[in-house]
């Protein structure tokens, strides 16, 4: 498991310290991770890091083996010995969840990496090439967008008695790459005609160099966001498949726990059996979404500054009723205004928020 090389395992600082101490590489890394440098992304990455640690250290953390049976303690509620209680066979739920983290993260990462690779290759090629090759690739993308993923996965997976993790990941990836490819194609199309790409072309740089050196750095944010999106979809897909019973129970993950819980009548009385696994999926999904919010705000600064600007305006005593064009509240209405320190002269002065150039009081 090469989790340590993924950005998901650590914050910016951790990754920096492991890099060679060349200033150029350092600063380059800093810019590469700029999209993660906001509270939302960091919070998401920290949660992901904790999950990754749990997955790596599973044998150390888990007090029992995931399938270790203790027939003297069946369906026990949480206690000092079994932190999250036991199943109908006396298995420790906490240990199952700790080991199940591995299955979820491995499939999520493998499917995410595969799908992102396909998306980058197809999307960038479709955006950069022209003529029938571009048309063909985007038609291919659209076909995969239209084909419903979950039914196809179920049909394919039901063909194998014991599908391996790699096969499951591959099938999830095959049904999940198209959206990223579509977004990447649109962005590449707009990059293709920028001056710096034209200049590189005029310099006689080779195709792969133009794509790898000139274009890919400008696509990192979109690639990262499509990677995070696919991982989220893969985690949800995997747990859903496991819950439906399409994935063999030998692949232990959070969905398998829920499958067993439902099969053995855990609902509604044995809450310790089914609540933690579902919460883990939701927390992991929320963490991934947080990372994506951060990337979104990095790509689209309007999303980032909207809240800050509104708060700044309220401090100045401007009405936030609309938030678009703030009108200073007239003296008669001062009672209603938050911190109304408006002067009569300001009554007529409308300040636009759009430019961020509100005159100081």
Contacts of 353 (CB under 8 A, 6+ apart): 309, 310, 313, 323, 324, 325, 326
Alpha-carbon gap, residue 56 to 246, rounded angstroms: 26
Q: Please name the residue that has the structure tokens 């009081």.
A: 361
Site string for other proteins, 210-249 (x = CB under 8 A): ----------------------x---x--xx--xx-x---
User: Which of these ranges, 10-18, 121-129, 214-222, 279-287, lies near other proteins under the rule CB under 8 A?
Assistant: 279-287
- 321 contacts other proteins (rule: CB under 8 A): yes
Residue 360 DSSP code: P
Q: Find the binder of other proteins among 42, 73, 129, 310 (CB under 8 A).
A: 310
Q: How far is CA 149 from CA 157, 233, 235, 307, in A?
A: 12, 11, 14, 36
Name the minimum Å distance from CB 88 to other proteins.
16
Please identify, using beta-carbon distances, which residue of 204 and 268 lies nearer to other proteins: 268
Please identify, using beta-carbon distances, which residue of 64 and 94 lies nearer to other proteins: 94
- Provide the terminal-to-terminal Cα distance of the chain, rounded to the nearest Å: 58
Answer yes or no: are the C-beta atoms of 276 and 261 closer than 8 Å.
no
User: Which of these ranges, 47-55, 60-68, 81-89, 319-327, lies near other proteins under the rule CB under 8 A?
Assistant: 319-327
Name the minimum Å distance from CB 259 to other proteins.
10
DSSP 150-191: HHHHHHHHTT-SS--HHHHHHHHHHHHSHHHHHHHHHHHHHH
Please identify, using beta-carbon distances, which residue of 307 and 331 lies nearer to other proteins: 307
**Interaction site with other proteins (CB under 8 A):** 139, 142-143, 146-148, 150-152, 154-155, 158-159, 232, 236, 239-240, 243-244, 246, 255, 258, 262, 267-268, 274-275, 277-278, 281-282, 284-286, 288-290, 293, 296, 300, 302-303, 306-311, 313-314, 320-325, 350, 352, 354
């Amino acid at each position: 498991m090469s989790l340590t090389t993924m950005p998901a395992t650590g914050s910016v600082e951790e990754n920096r310290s492991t890099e060679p101490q060349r200033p150029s590489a350092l600063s380059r890394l800093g810019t590469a991770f700029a999209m993660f440098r906001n509270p939302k992304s960091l919070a998401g990455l920290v949660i992901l890091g904790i999950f990754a640690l749990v997955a790596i250290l599973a044998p150390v953390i888990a007090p029992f083996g995931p399938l270790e049976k203790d027939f003297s303690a069946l369906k026990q509620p949480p206690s000092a010995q079994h932190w999250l209680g036991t199943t109908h066979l006396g298995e420790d739920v906490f240990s199952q969840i700790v080991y199940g983290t591995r299955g979820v993260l491995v499939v999520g990462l493998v499917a995410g990496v595969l799908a992102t690779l396909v998306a980058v290759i197809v999307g960038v090629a479709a955006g950069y090439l022209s003529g029938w090759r571009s048309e063909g690739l985007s038609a291919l993308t659209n076909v995969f967008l239209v084909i419903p993923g979950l039914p196809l996965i179920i049909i394919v997976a039901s063909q194998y008695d014991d599908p391996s993790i790699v096969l499951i990941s591959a099938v999830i990836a095959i049904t999940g790459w198209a959206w990223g490819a579509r977004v990447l194609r649109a962005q590449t199309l707009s990059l293709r005609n920028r001056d710096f790409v034209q200049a590189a072309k005029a310099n006689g740089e080779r195709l792969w160099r133009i794509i790898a050196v000139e274009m890919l750095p400008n696509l990192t944010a979109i690639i990262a966001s499509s990677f995070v999106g696919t991982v989220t979809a893969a985690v949800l897909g995997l747990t859903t498949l496991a819950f439906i019973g399409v994935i063999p129970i030998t692949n232990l993950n959070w969905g398998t726990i829920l499958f067993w819980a439902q099969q053995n009548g855990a609902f509604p009385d044995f809450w310790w059996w089914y609540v933690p696994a579902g919460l883990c999926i939701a927390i992991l999904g929320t963490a991934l979404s947080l990372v994506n919010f951060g990337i979104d705000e990095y790509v689209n600064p309007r999303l980032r500054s909207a809240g800050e600007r509104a708060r700044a305006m309220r401090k100045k005593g401007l009405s936030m009723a609309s938030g678009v064009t703030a009108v200073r509240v007239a003296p008669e209405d001062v009672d209603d205004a938050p911190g109304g320190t408006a002067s009569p002269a300001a009554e007529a002065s409308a300040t636009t928020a759009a430019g961020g150039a509100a005159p100081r009081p």
